């Protein structure tokens, strides 16, 4: 049995989970291919997503797709992947499993969105997984990153559970679609996520902007390499500039990685700190990490 894992992971947490899952599946003699689309030039610069998927994703029985939760939603590039998937035939497996990592404030409606999109693509959504991780945005403006160091060993039982459910598919020709089990938030929450937390608007108007100070910049190109969506480009004269598209998705890898601090945040940082401060005080999701539907392996 073969599993393909497509993953978008601007700051590494979702990729870490993909690798954990790969390890647990390989222990069960299941072959795994990880296709990491983060920062991929042919996707983010030339927009040939479908062609990329056709040529890079090997034959598989089960397709897993991993994404971070951004502003309560499935990251929008991952939505694009899900809507661009070839039909579940000719080597593209009929079983699908979305998984998300989130920063411990809320996993939002990301898994629900993923479940609906994968079902719409003609696949059977056999399970979904959410994993509580470090909140990568908070590293940009809180003194300490929230949930730093996560995910770690505490999520291994959840990963193992998903690996076991995938292993069970070996003997199941007609597994049941469980996409509805990924709707675990209330309808009020769903409406709030769609009305207030509109991801692209948050990127445009709410999150602190990233500013590049040309005087400080040594043109080392680290931000170009670190950017998860090819938002930066280096010109022939060495100058580094930002592009209008793809727009910045505020993963803040560039700011965190700039060796000379030529990149900084602008905007109302105090307001952002206050907002995040409140978010991390809110009651936590229970369970923090899980495989849906819950309780199947019990």
Ligand X SMILES: Cc1cc2nc3c(=O)[nH]c(=O)nc-3n(C[C@H](O)[C@H](O)[C@H](O)COP(=O)(O)O)c2cc1C
We find the least distance from the C-beta atom of residue 262 to ligand X, in angstroms, to be: 20
Give the nearer residue to ligand X in terms of CB position, either 11 or 121: 11
CB atoms within 10 A of CB 140: 22
For ligand X, the binding residues in 70-99 under the rule CB under 6 A are 70-72
Site string for ligand X, 13-32 (x = CB under 6 A): xxx-----------------
For 164-173, letters b (16+ CB in 10 Å) and e give ebbbebeeee
Count the residues of the shown chain that bind ligand X, applying the rule CB under 6 A.
26
Cβ contact 33:57 at 8 Å:
yes
CA angle 166, 169, 173 (to 5 degrees): 155
d(CA 161, CA 297): 7
Residues 6 or more apart whose CB falls under 8 angstroms from that of 35 comprise 4, 5, 6, 7, 56, 57
Give the nearer residue to ligand X in terms of CB position, either 137 or 163: 137
Give the nearer residue to ligand X in terms of CB position, either 124 or 254: 254
Q: In which residue are the tokens 């593209």 written? A: 92
Instruction: Find the length of the chain.
Output: 298
How many CA atoms, within 13 angstroms, populate the side-chain half-sphere of residue 113?
26
Q: In which residue are the tokens 């039982």 written? A: 157
CA angle 266, 262, 40 (to 5 degrees): 90
We find the least distance from the C-beta atom of residue 23 to ligand X, in angstroms, to be: 17
Q: Is 9 in the site for ligand X (CB under 6 A)?
A: yes
Among 121, 134, 179, 185, binds ligand X (CB under 6 A): 134
Choose the binding region for ligand X from 53-61, 81-89, 100-108, 218-226 (rule: CB under 6 A): 100-108
Among 3, 6, 12, 82, binds ligand X (CB under 6 A): 12
Site string for ligand X, 229-248 (x = CB under 6 A): --------------------
Site string for ligand X, 102-121 (x = CB under 6 A): xxxxx-x-------------
Site string for ligand X, 243-282 (x = CB under 6 A): -------xx-------------------------------
Give the nearer residue to ligand X in terms of CB position, either 10 or 93: 10
Burial of 141 (0-12, 13-18, 19+ CB in 10 A): middle
Q: Is 11 in the site for ligand X (CB under 6 A)?
A: yes
Please provide the DSSP assignment of 175-213 as one string. Answer: PPP-GGGG--S-HHHHHHHHHT--HHHIIIIISPEEEE-
Site string for ligand X, 42-71 (x = CB under 6 A): --------------------------xxxx
Given the rule CB under 6 A, which residues bind ligand X? 9-15, 68-72, 101-106, 108, 133-137, 250-251
């Amino acid at each position: 049995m073969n599993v393909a894992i497509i993953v978008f992971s601007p700051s590494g947490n979702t990729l870490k989970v993909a690798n954990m899952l790969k390890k647990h599946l390989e222990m069960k003699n299941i072959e795994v291919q990880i296709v990491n689309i983060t920062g991929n030039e042919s996707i983010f610069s030339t927009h040939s997503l479908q062609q990329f998927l056709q040529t890079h994703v090997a034959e598989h029985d089960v397709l897993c797709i991993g994404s971070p939760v951004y502003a309560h939603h499935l990251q929008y590039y991952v939505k694009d992947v899900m809507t661009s998937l070839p039909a579940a035939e000719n080597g593209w497996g009929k079983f699908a499993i979305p998984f998300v990592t989130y920063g411990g404030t809320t996993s939002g409606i990301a898994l629900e969105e993923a479940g609906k999109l994968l079902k719409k693509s003609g696949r059977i959504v056999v399970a979904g997984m959410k994993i509580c991780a470090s909140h990568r945005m908070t590293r940009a403006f809180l003194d300490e990153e929230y949930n730093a160091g996560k995910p770690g060993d505490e999520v291994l039982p959840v990963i193992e559970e998903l690996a076991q459910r995938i292993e069970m598919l070996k003997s199941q020709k007609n597994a049941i679609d469980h996409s509805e089990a990924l709707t675990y938030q209330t309808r009020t929450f769903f409406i709030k996520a769609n009305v207030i937390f509109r991801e692209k608007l948050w990127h445009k108007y709410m999150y602190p902007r990233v500013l590049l100070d040309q005087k400080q910049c040594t043109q080392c190109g680290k931000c170009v390499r670190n950017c998860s969506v090819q938002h930066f480009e280096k010109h022939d004269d060495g100058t580094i500039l930002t592009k209008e598209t793809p727009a910045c998705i505020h993963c803040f890898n560039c700011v965190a990685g700039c060796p000379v601090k030529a990149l900084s945040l602008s905007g109302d940082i105090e307001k952002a700190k206050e907002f995040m401060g409140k978010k991390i005080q809110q009651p936590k999701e229970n369970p923090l990490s899980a495989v849906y539907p819950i309780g199947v392996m019990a």
